[in-house]
Structure 1
């Protein structure tokens, strides 16, 4: 399966999920009162954790794709585990971000982590794409 096929399928699922979630979010009676900036709800915590996991995966995927020339512990670890870490962390970020987005009670700015969930899904998709590209590159040269 090519990277283009994976990205098209993931994009179609993401767009379909957002389209199906639209009618419930459009009803103004469903929206709770917005939370303050300092309030940490379960949705916000889940979205933050998912986004940080996605960033970790994207960094590892980028390092695996770039193949750092520097020796040492980091270079050896990325050479062994960078692709797997990028794929697993990116997939986890997409799944957790999608769950937070699907279970958020209100819209953007309501304090339920919906904006962070969208960021987590996008960063997770980036991590998966970088990990997949690094995997394909290592198969061609290996």
Structure 2
């Protein structure tokens, strides 16, 4: 009797394995398809992200900076233009205009100590101060003296 029971048990197990194999085979195929689709989508996303970053870089390079007028100095400047700074340049500019550090600071809108710190190289001007420095670079002695005399008369 035990022989029939073991044969029956083996047959049932075989049939169950056969049925499960058929079901899991379709799941394996679907899983493989999904994984390959996901990998293809990831590759496509990477390519699109590279394309977007390239287009952003080229768009930034192709946009001309808008020139604006500083209401105080009436000079045109490009706020997006990269302005250079040299400590020796501030001192040379100050001596060229025959100005003291407090006078130079009044023209730029900073303190005399800030001018000294810039000239010695201890500190650097902030980006928002660079247009004022560029405006002073374009001034002559007469214009600088006139600007310094204006606030005292007002």
TM-score (norm 2): 0.19
* Larger RCO of the pair (alpha carbons < 8 Å, separation 6+): 1
> What's the TM-score, normalizing by structure 1?
0.20
Q: Whose helix proportion is higher, 1 or 2?
A: 1
Higher Cα radius of gyration: 2
